[in-house]
Structure 1
Amino acid sequence: MRRLGASLIPATLLPVVLALTLPAAADAAVDRSNGPDPFGDWTETVLDADQNFRGLEAVSRTEAWVTGESLTDDGAARVFRTTDGGDTWVDVSPADSEGLSFRDVEVHGRVAHVLAIGPGEASRIYRSTDGGTTWTEAFRNPDKKAFYDCMAFYGNGKRGLAVSDPVKGKLRILSTDDRGESWKVLPSKGMPASADEFGFAASGDCLVTVGKVAFIITGGAQSRVLRSDDRGLTWTATESGIPAGESAGGFAGAFATPGNGIVVGGDFAEADDTADTTAYTRNGRTWTSGGDLRHIGEDVTFLRGTRYAVATGDYDGSAGTSTTSDGGRTWTRVSKKGYHVIDCVGKVCWAAGSKGRVGHS
């Protein structure tokens, strides 16, 4: 349940197929008083209805990358990039991506990284230094017991981490210190026991960094937030307050500072149960249950400062987007439209989701 998806798409330059402004009447009854409205001038583009997008990097107000997987068995996973504010999108996918699932994309300067998830060799990291024109395979997982879910980079992108489901009872951490050219597995001594606990590859944000701190958001047997202050060598774990379960827990996190963060989640087996779907921290170490979303929470991002953030989700009929103006303590639904992943730069937000949908404000 936690993996969510499959995919296909032709490897050609792809212009905008459909662009529309969301009709205000669709959400006329929605309260928009809770801070900046990410859906104020929203435009949605359908790139390809066969792609399920769960990876997104908002580089700037004009540049964004999305990654997906085919809804067709053994179809090709795709990567798309825009540099003109979403007017046109280019297919910049790595070759031979049939059957893969691209769930995370990270871009720092001229270097882009794409994570494919799955057991054994299905977990891979591709790297490009020329805007996706060419790619090199920087990592292919040799361990059949490992399954990588998310990745994140620190600061300017020199150092980064990726997290795998437990191997021998502990979450496994992969590390790079050369801008993703090479990767190595870190020792597990500093990782707390985490059997049957895992990150959800729902939006690529089950592992996030802020400053010199990294956080892992988990579900499964336990629903916790793990924190590392030493580049992934040692971790401390704290209960998030979001209920755990085989398909439940925290799905994604966002941090405005190392002390101010929000986690969102839910239960993919019972997507309509939206109680206890958020938590927040004011010190980066202890967590308090936040307001309930009226939809599943697959991703969250700060919109401005430490107070304003936006959360979204779209799974099995549970869809919507909500904002908070108090750092996650309370939430207001601003749209019945939801996505799998969302990211904001300044006041401009980008989102991506099912059936090839990409939106931006």
Structure 2
Amino acid sequence: MRRLGVTTFIPAFIPALIPALVPALLLLPSSATAAPAPGPDPFDDWRETVVDADQNFRGLVAVSKREAWVTGESLSDGAARVYRTTDRGTTWLDVSPPASEGLSFRDVEVTGSVTHVLAIGPGEASRIYRSADGGASWTESFRNTDEDAFYDCMAFYPGGRRGLVLGDPVDGKLQVLATEDRGRTWSLLPDKGMPASAKEFGFAASGNCLVTAGRSAFIVSGGARARVLRSDDRGLTWTATTSGIPAGPAAGGFAGDMASPRRGIAVGGDFEDADDTTDNVATTRDGRTWSAVASLRHVGEDVAFVRGWRYAVATGDYDGSAGSSITRDGGATWTRVSKLGYHAVDCVSKVCWAAGSEGRVGRG
């Protein structure tokens, strides 16, 4: 989605912004009789570092408690960068593909030993790079040759053999690329099974406008219509339902996450009026019907489940609308735990990573 600019930077991390009541918030029982679950609260010991102040990070994947990858775009028209840590964020290694000047790396996915990075933009600016050796070397596995096409986000199915990439509409329908060989090659799927979607698009806000759960894939859209589209046949056919998040030229759902094929959360807002966060959270309990159930006190650029389907973190940082919030009831209600916001968040083993403007990366 080609309508995003650079966010307003929130200066250095201030621990006092995180209320004292946050510890143990994620440890609440999943039922009225269950005992509190052990384990750390991601915001209990949140630490932030600036990895590369020239980069606006929107791509993020949490591989483990120790390993994460972030991708970005240069704030000075320089090279887009890819960074990797394997020591809990103590050090970060620049593993960027060569000749990435002027590109915008908005998504990164790691499946087993293979890493995929998506560059977005019109025409040949949309590319996919693949590494099978931790970023030591890269191959360009896809370059868009259609000047009308613009690719936004990427997701892989469990196992990593099959994956999809979402693109803005061409001839009135969203475009979908697919791979069947672990990202070595990509092909454009026929659009016969895609509902009419003129002026509807995915937002390249955090790389999560397309997500998978089990054998199902989900598109979170905005623009002329704010919907969630679902495919159960690897992207060949899609069914669409209104998400309930208000639509608009720069509004709608920006990202989603699925705890299972039935339980999910979508977040969004309006990039033309970032302070308008009315009904910018939608949820599903059956994976097919969605409804707006809550409003964050900040724009929602990304959301990630922490444990099960009840506990999740949402974050955003755009045009002064910034913050991070936690839900413990599957998205029905949210507590804003920090005025510090990011573009992307991902959690694994109750540890969350986040990435944002001017090279900021947090972990807790």
Match of 2:4 in 1: 4
C-alpha separation between the residues in 1 aligned to 2:292 and 2:127? 35
C-alpha separation between the residues in 2 aligned to 1:21 and 1:247? 29
Give 3-state SS (helix, strand or coil) of 2:294's partner.
coil
Match of 2:35 in 1: none
C-alpha separation between the residues in 2 aligned to 1:52 and 1:228? 31
Question: How far apart are residue 28 of structure 1 and its match?
Answer: 3.5
Preserved CA contact (<8 Å) 1:5 1:52: no
Match of 2:137 in 1: 134
- Indicate yes or no: 2:175 matched with 1:184: no
Match of 1:202 in 2: 205
- Indicate yes or no: 2:73 matched with 1:82: no
Give 3-state SS (helix, strand or coil) of 2:272's partner.
helix
Preserved CA contact (<8 Å) 1:43 1:360: yes
Match of residue 61, structure 2, among 57, 60, 70:
57
Match of 2:71 in 1: 67
Match of residue 279, structure 1, among 278, 282, 293:
282
C-alpha separation between the residues in 1 aligned to 2:308 and 2:286? 15
Question: How far apart are residue 245 of structure 1 and its match?
Answer: 0.4
Question: How far apart are residue 154 of structure 1 and its match?
Answer: 0.3
Question: How far apart are residue 38 of structure 1 and its match?
Answer: 2.1
Listed as ranges, the matches of 1:228-267 within 5 Å are 228-267=231-270
Preserved CA contact (<8 Å) 2:19 2:337: no
RMSD: 1.6
Match of 2:153 in 1: 150
Q: Which amino acid aligns with 1:77?
A: A
Question: How far apart are residue 164 of structure 1 and its match?
Answer: 0.5
Question: How far apart are residue 21 of structure 1 and its match?
Answer: 7.3
Offset from partner CA, 1:26-61 (integer Å, 9 cap, x none):
334776674354211111010111100000010000
Match of residue 114, structure 1, among 93, 112, 117:
117
C-alpha separation between the residues in 1 aligned to 2:290 and 2:339? 28
C-alpha separation between the residues in 2 aligned to 1:28 and 1:110? 39
Match of 1:40 in 2: 44
C-alpha separation between the residues in 2 aligned to 1:187 and 1:264? 29
Q: Which amino acid aligns with 1:286?
A: T
Give 3-state SS (helix, strand or coil) of 1:270's partner.
coil
Match of residue 272, structure 2, among 266, 269, 274:
269
Give 3-state SS (helix, strand or coil) of 1:148's partner.
strand
Preserved CA contact (<8 Å) 1:2 1:268: no
Q: Alpha carbons of 1:312 and 1:30: their partners in 2 closer, same or farther (altered >3 Å)?
A: farther
Give 3-state SS (helix, strand or coil) of 1:35's partner.
helix
C-alpha separation between the residues in 2 aligned to 1:22 and 1:344? 22
C-alpha separation between the residues in 2 aligned to 1:316 and 1:32? 29
Preserved CA contact (<8 Å) 1:149 1:204: yes
C-alpha separation between the residues in 2 aligned to 1:235 and 1:118? 24
C-alpha separation between the residues in 2 aligned to 1:242 and 1:4? 19
C-alpha separation between the residues in 1 aligned to 2:58 and 2:5? 9
Contiguous gaps of at least 5 residues in structure 2: 7-11, 28-40
Contiguous gaps of at least 5 residues in structure 1: 7-19
Match of residue 309, structure 1, among 298, 309, 312:
312
Preserved CA contact (<8 Å) 1:49 1:357: yes
Give 3-state SS (helix, strand or coil) of 2:109's partner.
strand
- Indicate yes or no: 2:93 matched with 1:102: no
Q: Alpha carbons of 1:22 and 1:30: their partners in 2 closer, same or farther (altered >3 Å)?
A: same
Listed as ranges, the matches of 1:212-223 within 5 Å are 212-223=215-226
Offset from partner CA, 1:285-335 (integer Å, 9 cap, x none):
001212210000000000000110000000011000001111111111111
Match of residue 295, structure 2, among 285, 292, 297:
292
Q: Which amino acid aligns with 2:43?
A: F
Match of residue 26, structure 1, among 8, 14, 17:
17
User: TM-score, structure 1 length as denominator?
Assistant: 0.93
Give 3-state SS (helix, strand or coil) of 1:254's partner.
strand
Q: Alpha carbons of 1:41 and 1:126: their partners in 2 closer, same or farther (altered >3 Å)?
A: same
User: TM-score, structure 2 length as denominator?
Assistant: 0.93
Preserved CA contact (<8 Å) 1:22 1:42: no
Q: Alpha carbons of 1:30 and 1:119: their partners in 2 closer, same or farther (altered >3 Å)?
A: farther
